[in-house]
Amino acid sequence: KASPMPKDQTCTLMKNSVRTFDNVTYNTWLDECEFVASMDCSQNKQFAVTVKGKAGERSIRVYTPLQNYYKVYDVKKDSASLTVYDRFDQAQGDFVLKSGTPALRLGMLSNSKYHEAHRVFIHDGVVNVVLPKENVRVAFDGYYLKITTSPLFIGKTCGLCGNQNQEFYSEFLDPKMVDLASNLTAFRDSYSLHNCIEPLPCREPEQCESEDSLFVNHDRSTLFANRPINKKTSNPILQTLVIDRKDSTCASLAPQKMCKEGQKASKTERKLVDMLCKSNSHSDVNKRTEKSTITKFNKTETLTYNSPVECVSDKESVRGL
């Protein structure tokens, strides 16, 4: 039986929360600073979408491969304002979008086909920016921002909408797509433009950093410890957990938090981990556990694991078991 074709992925920025491409929802606040909602972080750089302002007063910018961008603002029930900028940040034209009028066709090159033009129009109070050739659609009503991309961008995006890799445990990666952010505020601020960092809207920072601000339909412990990290510590990385026992070797079904080589855990939390196990009587198993090895494992067990919350430097290599 053939595998189902991947579907278009959608991310939604709401009043005070974001639902990512991989269906992870988290609380955040977007005021006067401008943030990268989503962008193509591959070498192709096909698109980028930024958002600025509180719900009801927001504006967005949609960047295209032509290195120009469209700024949409002052969205009302039957009209909206649009300014087209070139790659030198110079305004090329101002437009007023009105319901019932034909879509503006922009970004036409001399050799472009008519259906490849970028289309911008408003319908029922929602401004739509369609990039047909890039397979990107943006819908914006001044409050909510919805970004839809094709399966071509799986694992290639970054920003507040996540990396779109079909996994939830690596959702909060920094712009370098390597390390998990230490908390939600750090994740959000890593995608602010011009180093713009807003003051906390809470009286106490702990209120903003509490785990209650993260409501995900998955195990929270597989994401990250949502708390400030001391300067002398670092965040764990995600790797396949391997446990060698006298009669068997087990590998985790999902990547688990572990300290890097040359580090050890300064704080841990006990958790149950689903493992695939194989008897050692058949053959030795490489401790690094390649995927081809995992497929030979024939028994599932749930084991207790001391998962690191934060790591510190250590001369001895610590595996995290």
pLDDT at 252: 84
Token reading at 106 = 């922009």
pLDDT per residue as tens, the chain (321 positions): 444 556 889 999 999 899 999 999 998 888 778 999 999 988 888 999 999 998 889 999 999 887 789 999 999 999 999 999 988 888 989 999 999 888 888 876 555 566 678 999 999 999 999 999 889 999 999 999 999 999 889 888 999 999 888 877 778 887 877 777 888 888 888 898 865 654 444 434 444 443 333 333 323 232 223 333 334 677 788 788 888 888 888 888 877 888 888 888 888 888 888 888 888 764 444 444 444 333 455 678 888 888 888 888 875 433 332
pLDDT at 214: 33
CB 118 within 8 A of CB 40: no
The pLDDT tens digits for 205-227 are 444 443 333 333 323 232 223 33
Q: Is 316 exposed, middle or buried (0-12, 13-18, 19+ CB in 10 A)?
A: exposed
> Distance (Å, rounded) from C-alpha 177 to C-alpha 163?
8
| Among 12, 8, 11, residue whose Cα is nearest residue 143 | 12
3-state SS class at 116:
helix
Rounded alpha-carbon distances, angstroms, from residue 89 to 46, 61, 130, 200, 213: 18, 12, 21, 31, 37
> Distance (Å, rounded) from C-alpha 61 to C-alpha 253?
40
| Among 135, 197, 171, residue whose Cα is nearest residue 6 | 135
Token reading at 51 = 């958002």
pLDDT at 113: 65
pLDDT at 112: 57
| Among 193, 195, 320, residue whose Cα is nearest residue 269 | 320
The pLDDT tens digits for 121-176 are 999 999 999 999 889 999 999 999 999 999 889 888 999 999 888 877 778 887 87
CB 223 within 8 A of CB 171: yes
pLDDT at 241: 86
Q: How many CB atoms lie within 10 A of CB 295?
A: 9
Q: Is the backbone of residue 15 left (phi > 0), alpha (psi -120 to 50) or beta? A: alpha
- pTM to 2 decimal places: 0.61
DSSP 192: B
